Amino acid sequence: MGLVYRFIMIIRYNIKITGQVQGVGFRYSARNIARKYNIRGIVRNEPDGSVYIEAEGRKEDMDHFLYWCHRGPGAGRVDHVVFHEAPLRNFDGFNVTYF
């Protein structure tokens, strides 16, 4: 019987979330959820009132994270989530950043 190798697919998404997403704890909740799923990257508020996230991790963990992004924390409201795949950046941890 041969050896079975598991390939772990790591992906990165750039994510923009609009709605009532600033001033409701979105960034810190996103950081906590990302750390729960071992996702690395950054989250920040944008001048246009949206939240921007760069996140990378295992495909199945990213699916959980994106699901959460569509719901957000208890406070606030998510209207739209737009994301696209991007080249990996090999972040260390997941952090809230500022302009």
Catalytic residue list contains 27:
yes
Catalytic residue check, 45 = yes
* CA atoms of 86 and 4, how far apart (whole Å): 29
Per annotation, catalytic residue among 45, 58, 71, 90: 45
Question: CA-CA distance, 36 to 99, in Å (whole number)?
Answer: 25
For 19, list phi and psi in degrees, rounded to 5: 135, -155
Find the catalytic residue in 12, 27, 31, 40.
27
Give the integer Cα–Cα distance in Å for 22 and 20. 6
Please identify every residue annotated as catalytic: 27, 45
